Amino acid sequence: MKLVIAITGASGAIYAQRLLTALASDDKTNRNEIHVCLSDYARQVAATELPGGLQIPAAFTTVGTDTMNVPFVSGSAAFDAMVVIPCSMGTLGRIAHGYADNTITRAADVFLKEKRKLIVVPRETPWNLIQARNIVTLIEAGAHVIPACPSFYNQPQTVNDVADTVVARVLDHLGITHHLVKRWMSPASESPE
């Protein structure tokens, strides 16, 4: 797969880190091409929230948000999916209204217009009415909205376990097999490794 992982300055850098870690683990044979696009605020938040900051696998291509000299901002480049994780409500609003003012919002605009998979993971609570309407607008435009709302039926023991309940849903929507969490009502033999 050819993927874009966009990281904004919303709180929740752990979700991005856990997704990057899972993708790196899945990519042992280098069958995926993964581009990471992160904002300056994403770097700042990650430095605050994650010991050692965000760890991006060396095999992934990394860019900031101030360039259009990357393939995934053009409809002519064939990419499979884009994930914005965590997605700030500011970024979500700009995507919902086609305001393509940086690399992330331009890429998301391209994924929507080309009918490619766009997954947005907002990490904000509570929502105001404008934010709720922006989410509906994105859903109507074809985006998959997976709010960073973890589940607890597996009785997670660590912060990573909690974050993985959201990351697992993202991987499911990407069609990537994983063993991050035990599925609801599945046999014990299907538990994560």
**Backbone φ, ψ for residue 165 (5° rounding):** -65, -30
**Backbone φ, ψ for residue 75 (5° rounding):** -65, -20
Does the predicted model carry a pTM greater than 0.95?
A: no
- Please name the residues in contact with 173: beta carbons below 8 A apart, sequence gap of 6 or more: 117, 119, 144, 146
**Spans of all domains in the chain:** 2-190
The CATH code belonging to domain 2-190 is 3.40.50.1950
So what's the pLDDT on residue 193?
A: 52
8 A C-beta contact, residue 182 and residue 191 = yes
- pLDDT tens track for 116-146: 999 999 999 999 999 999 999 999 999 999 9
CA pair distance 46, 173, nearest whole angstrom: 24
CA pair distance 187, 166, nearest whole angstrom: 21
Q: Which residues of the chain have pLDDT under 50?
A: none
So what's the pLDDT on residue 190?
A: 58
Q: Is the dihedral of CA 187, 188, 189, 193 positive or negative?
A: positive
So what's the pLDDT on residue 161?
A: 96
8 A C-beta contact, residue 3 and residue 79 = yes
CA pair distance 159, 117, nearest whole angstrom: 28
CA 112 to chain centre: 15
